[in-house]
Structures are given as structure tokens and as C-alpha cells.
Structure 1
């Protein structure tokens, strides 16, 4: 029961970071958008890289606390 506040603080920090990055998803330079007529194709290359880096950092931090 002592670790519960620590877990809540970590979870809150992770949610804060995710919420911050959710504002920019799909709007980063390097994301490719093709529009032709009624068809739109979206390749979020840079967004995927940023999400991968953030998740790697979060998972490494979670791994250190165990």
C-alpha cells in the first residue's frame, strides 16, 4: 500500500506527457500527406518515431522501479 502513491504519480506523469504529445500528432514536420481528389493518404513517419522514443523512455523508467 505504500507504493500506491508513487504509482499514481508516475501514471499521472505518463498521462501528462501523452496528453502533451497528442496535441501534435499528425502535425509534425516530416509527416507525409498526399491529397488527390477525394483521396487522402497519410504517412505519419515522424510521429511514429517520436512515439517510439517516448515509449522507450517510459518503459525503461518503469523497468528501473521494479
Structure 2
């Protein structure tokens, strides 16, 4: 594979991830703790959704290799 094609694929993946992140930023099920000036955010559901999406992408890429 050519390096140019790899960089194009990486760029497309980053654009898709950026667009998806703006839509699934804080889903119900993500845990947020606020105490005074401190905020702790645990994106549990968002992590699960991203994991499923990446698993599907890598599965599809693996099928075409």
C-alpha cells in the first residue's frame, strides 16, 4: 500500500471520529461527579459505543484484506 493512501484513510477516519464525537459526546449513562470546583467525568456508555463502532470498522476492513 502507498503511504499517500494510508494518510488519506487516516484522515477520513479522524474526520468521521470527530463528527461522531460531536454527536455522541455525552450519552445517558455517562457518569459525572461535581463537587465544588472539581468535575470528574466517566464516559462509560460513550466508550462502549466507540468500541462497538471501531470493532465493526476493523471487522469490515479485515474482510476485504
Q: TM-score, normalised by structure 2?
A: 0.71
Q: CA RMSD in A?
A: 2.3
Distance in 2 between residues matched to 1:21 and 1:35, nearest whole Å: 26
Which blocks of at least 5 consecutive residues in structure 2 are unaligned? Answer: none
In the TM superposition, 1:1-66 aligns within 5 A as 11=9, 12=12, 14=13, 17-66=16-65
**Paired residues, what number?**
60
SS of structure 1 residue aligned to 2:23:
coil
TM-score, scaled relative to structure 1: 0.70
Deviation for aligned residue 1:21: 1.6
Segments of 5+ residues of structure 1 without an aligned counterpart are none
Name the structure where helix makes up a greater proportion of residues.
Answer: 2
> For 2:52 and 2:46, how far apart are their aligned partners in 1?
10
Q: CA deviation at 1:27?
A: 1.3
